[in-house]
Amino acid sequence: MAAAEIPCVKLLDGTSIPVLGLGTWESKPGEVKTAVDAAISAGYRHIDCSPTYGNEAEVGDAIAAKIKDGSVTRDQIYIVSKLWQTYHEPDVVEDGLRATLKNLQVDYLDLYLMHFPIGFKVKISKWWFDLFISIFNFFKQQSGLVPAHDANNQIITTDRDYVDTWKAMEKLVEKKLVRSIGVSNFNEEQVDRILTNCTIKPVTNQIECHPYFNQKSLSEHCAKRGVIVTGYSPFARPSRSWVGPDEPILLEEPALVVIAKKYNKTVANILLRYQIDCGHITIPKTVSPERMKQNKQIFDFKLEPSDISEIEKLNRPDGRIFRLALLSFCKNHKYYPF
């Protein structure tokens, strides 16, 4: 399949984004470069990153190599990254972006997201920033300001208003360092508060989304405001380490197996097509070249409304899978989104 066969959708700022991208969260150092290389070779043009994932430098190496060998040009790759929580203070927002640009070896991002609405207190002062970045870049590890911890080794949060952080992100667009900006893990009230106080509107809200946790209310809320949902973990992360023996596996759900047979597709294809038919962008993570190719086989069919209704029956009150990644230590924070 050619790259052009992954369609794009227009965002509210007039830019376009491929509806299917490659997620890189939990892609291990040493394998993510090969994964990104394979994805670009397979026709993927949307790569989702974050400094929090600890592999941005390797992703950058892969993208740079594909540009150098003539496989793609920079403007053919849609690169997304995120503002880490230690960079919520307005005077260091640009520093956070520039660390990411350096790791990814590019001059601008197509989309920059506020990863979470709560900021972290910084362990080191801004005076040490350049030295810190240099050391971490040397070892090709996650770069950025280190969060401070209390006596119980718990990360210390700040009360910085995410609206202030957003206004600093708007300046990145004005400086042409990023083309679009958005949010991630924001709830309905927080999305509305950004929209009420912004000059540049967020184009997307990247959230966990799959049939066990379909986020229908939040999705419809965002859609009414022109904010497209980007759904991460569309397969409900079957390899999660904390899955119990009695917990269901989404890829093995009997109802999905029946639907997959109806369309002569894989269950993974059905799950990705479900996201597309819900009006979402989706970013499945894989390091398997074969699965990357299989995941693209979703643009020659569309789910019937009755099938979507069956899939929506899988929604569960306890369907959120990131139970260990919910930043529960800050659940009493005024901006905790869950």
Q: What value, to the nearest 5°, has the Cα angle with vertex 330 and ends 327 and 336?
A: 85
Q: Please pick, among 44, 53, 212, 232, the residue that the annotation labels catalytic.
A: 53
336 carries an active-site annotation: no
Determine contact, residues 230/282, Cβ cutoff 8 Å.
yes
- Tokens representing 204? 């997307």
Query: Distance between CA 261 and CA 174 in Å, rounded?
Result: 49
63 close to 36: Cβ distance less than 8 angstroms: yes
Facing residues of 111 across strands? 80, 180
- Element at 22 (helix H, strand E): strand 22-23
The four Cα atoms 228, 328, 24, 183 give a dihedral, to 10 degrees, of 30
Task: Give me 303's structure tokens.
Answer: 């789910």
Q: Kindly calculate the radius of gyration of the chain based on its CA atoms and give it in whole angstroms.
A: 19
Is residue 333 annotated as involved in ligand binding?
A: no
CB environment 278-290: b (16+ within 10 A), e (fewer) = bebbbbbbbbeee
Sequential DSSP letters for 24-59: -TTPPTTTHHHHHHHHHHTT--EEE--GGGT-HHHH
* Burial classification of residue 225, based on how many CB atoms lie within 10 Å of its CB (0-12 exposed, 13-18 middle, 19 or more buried): middle
Q: Tokens representing 136?
A: 């971490």
**Binding annotation:** 115
Which residues are designated catalytic? 53
**Binding annotation for substrate:** 115
